[in-house]
Amino acid sequence: MSAPRPEQLSLNTATVRQQWKLDAIIDGCARHGIRGISPWRDQVAELGLAEAARRIRANDLTVTGYCRGGMFPAADAAGRQAALDDNRRAVDEALALGAKCLVLVVGGLPAGSRDIAGARAQVRDGIGTLLQYSREVGMPLAIEPLHPMYAADRACVNTMAHANDLCDELGDDGLGIALDVYHVWWDPQLPAQIERAGRRRLLAFHICDWLAPTTDLLLDRGMMGDGVIDIRALRHAVEAQGYDGFHEVEIFSANNWWKRPGDEVLATCQERHLAHC
């Protein structure tokens, strides 16, 4: 397998969200020659959708994904409808930005619930309903399986197998998977499920590292090479299926990378991408 190409690097804007607002992040990507970007909805809202789209296009950046849609389960029908309405807005925003996909963090248990099977059924139904709109307008949806530690509050889809099952049930047209190595590296079925997904379903590839020990379940992601994930092997696995897209760095790091200068973080992402991806 060939080495990663520098132009395949994309920056998820969460990686420097504590240092810079979105306009400065866009400028930083352009300054460092990073060709991909994946912005978050709150950052886009703060800058303004039209201005964010204008700046991204002016700097010739590819929007590798838009973060995020999802959060489908709710305690009642009104809550579920509100989630669907918000997801349609997210689809529209992703279209305006020219995103390659809308990333879905599907949601966990509704408040007060212990019914994870019911939550997963709501996720299936929510994605199925959203697909009726996203397919019509041409915006692919990418289900992101999250580590099981997030099953209660962020995502009750926790394995590639479950994401593949949803694609089987709902259809591949406009539906696929965002593979984040942080969330799925531990799964003994991962190689087989990557093969099962194939090129058609692999819509995004997110990279960072798992620190051992980890000090926070959300805010202690590592820079590539600082942890235990064999990122290069996973890149080879997705590329063996024909994936040739961007490698998107997404790091939540309250006590380390969020405290460093933004330019240092971007330069380190570039260096570690080539060394460890």
The answer to whether 169 and 198 have CB atoms below 8 angstroms apart is: no
What does each of the 277 residues of the chain score in pLDDT, given as a tens digit? 688 999 999 999 999 999 999 999 999 999 999 999 999 999 999 999 999 999 999 999 999 999 999 999 999 999 999 999 999 999 999 999 999 999 999 999 999 999 999 999 999 999 999 999 999 999 999 999 999 999 999 999 999 999 999 999 999 999 999 999 999 999 999 999 999 999 999 999 999 999 999 999 999 999 999 999 999 999 999 999 999 999 999 999 999 999 999 999 999 999 999 999 9
User: At CB < 8 A and 24+ separation, what contacts does 75-82 make?
Assistant: 75/110, 75/111, 75/112, 75/113, 79/110, 80/122, 80/126
**Chain Cα centroid distance, residue 133:** 21
The answer to whether 104 and 65 have CB atoms below 8 angstroms apart is: no
Burial class, 259, CB count within 10 angstroms (exposed 0-12 / middle 13-18 / buried 19+): exposed
Grouping H, G, I as helix, E, B as strand and the rest as coil, residue 172 is coil
What DSSP state is assigned to residue 110?
A: P
**Helix, strand, coil fractions of the chain, as percent rounded to 5:** 50, 15, 35
Grouping H, G, I as helix, E, B as strand and the rest as coil, residue 154 is coil
| Fold held by 6-276 | TIM Barrel (3.20.20)
Burial class, 169, CB count within 10 angstroms (exposed 0-12 / middle 13-18 / buried 19+): exposed
How does the average pLDDT of the chain come out, rounded? 98
Phi, psi of 46 (to 5 degrees): -65, -40
71 Rama sector, left if φ>0, alpha if ψ -120 to 50, beta otherwise: left
Give the E-state strand segments of the chain in sequence order: 9-12, 36-38, 62-63, 66-70, 102-105, 141-143, 175-180, 202-207, 209-210, 221-222, 247-249
Residues 6+ apart with CB under 8 A from 21: 43, 46, 47
Dihedral angle at the C-alpha atoms of 89, 176, 270, 2, nearest 10 degrees? -160
pTM of the shown model: 0.98
